[in-house]
Amino acid sequence: MYMEIGCFVSCLCGWILVCSTLPTEYWTFSEVGSIVLTTSNYYSNLWRDCISDTTGVSDCKDYPSMLALPVFLHACRALAVCAVITGFFGGVLTLIGMKCTKIGGSELANSRVTFAGSVTYLVSGFCGMITYSWWANRVISEFVDPNFRAQKFELGAAVFIGWGGSLLLISGGVVLGYFSGKEGLKPSSPKGPRRPGTYATARTRRTYVLPASASRVTLGPPLFYEGRKSRTTGASGTNQTFGRDSFV
């Protein structure tokens, strides 16, 4: 239970960090000094471009057309939104299946719901990690390319915050999935040879479970009769009497 609580807190913190990077403009930034007293700062994110200077004037502008945007930006937007949505549903599933909440049914059902929540957290973490890594790779490749003539940018603080949040989601989801999977994904039937039925069990089933016509089985002449003398002659040639219990 304490392990589940720790993993849930870790994943929740990671999801909050990932959500906080979406409205933040500092995914990339660039500083351009035009004159001695004025310095312009350019920064942008998935949704808009912004500019500010040392005089206190700042302005942001959304991207004018969605169809004119590159495929790279559309893919990063989709992955970021998927990371937020899957992280939310992962938190809901984990809250339902945790041992301390007592919301679900049996222990097996709770473990399986918790395992589903951990898988959803892993999906959220990997979506976020792909988004920030792809963005960082694009910015770094343009910065080190000597043939790139446009304005070059550097990595902003939002990318590093997103990396930290994605790492928390992945680590918490892995640990939570390991412990909940051990308990919730047990095989239904135990492995190993089954114990054969005893004589009493077989006799009881044939006598009382089956119909009367099917339960009458002819096994040949009787081996003994209780209260009578057997016809077996020992070494001394004397007759002995056997009861039912002694015979069995």
Cα–Cα distance measured from residue 137 to residue 132, given in angstroms and rounded to the nearest whole number: 8
Cα–Cα dist 111/99, whole Å: 8
Residue 50 — φ and ψ, nearest 5°?
Answer: -130, 155
Cβ atoms of 119 and 177 within 8 Å: the answer is yes
Q: Is residue 223 part of a domain?
A: no
pLDDT of residue 210: 47
CATH of the domain at 23: 1.20.140.150
Six-digit token string for 174: 């892995």
Q: What's the CA gap between 124 and 129, in Å, rounded?
A: 9
Task: Identify whether the C-beta of residue 122 lies closer than 8 Å to the C-beta of residue 177.
Answer: yes
Question: Structural domain of residue 86, as residue ranges?
Answer: 1-27+70-185
Number of domains forming the structure of the chain: 1
pLDDT at residue 229 in the model: 46
62 located within any domain: no
d(CA 141, CA 206): 80
Query: CB–CB of 152/30 below 8 Å?
Result: yes
Residue 115 domain-assigned (yes or no): yes
Flag whether 240 is in a domain.
Answer: no
Tens-digit pLDDT string for the chain (248 aa) = 788 888 889 899 999 999 999 988 888 888 775 555 667 788 888 888 888 877 777 788 888 877 878 888 889 999 999 999 999 998 888 888 777 776 766 777 778 888 888 899 999 999 999 999 999 998 888 888 888 777 788 888 899 999 999 999 999 989 888 888 777 666 554 454 555 544 444 444 444 444 544 445 445 555 444 444 444 444 444 445 545 555 44
The predicted pLDDT at position 16 comes to: 93
Does some domain include residue 103?
yes
Q: Which residues pair with 39 in a beta bridge?
A: 33
The token duo for 118 is 């951990």
Give me 227's structure tokens. Answer: 């209260």
Q: What number of other Cβ atoms are within 10 A of residue 166's Cβ?
A: 27
DSSP state of 102: -
Report CA 234 to chain centroid distance, whole Å. 73
3 state SS of 90: helix
35: in domain: no
Q: What is the pTM of this model?
A: 0.67
- Which pLDDT belongs to residue 232? 44
On whether residue 218 sits in a domain, the answer given is no
Judge whether 234 lies within some domain.
Answer: no
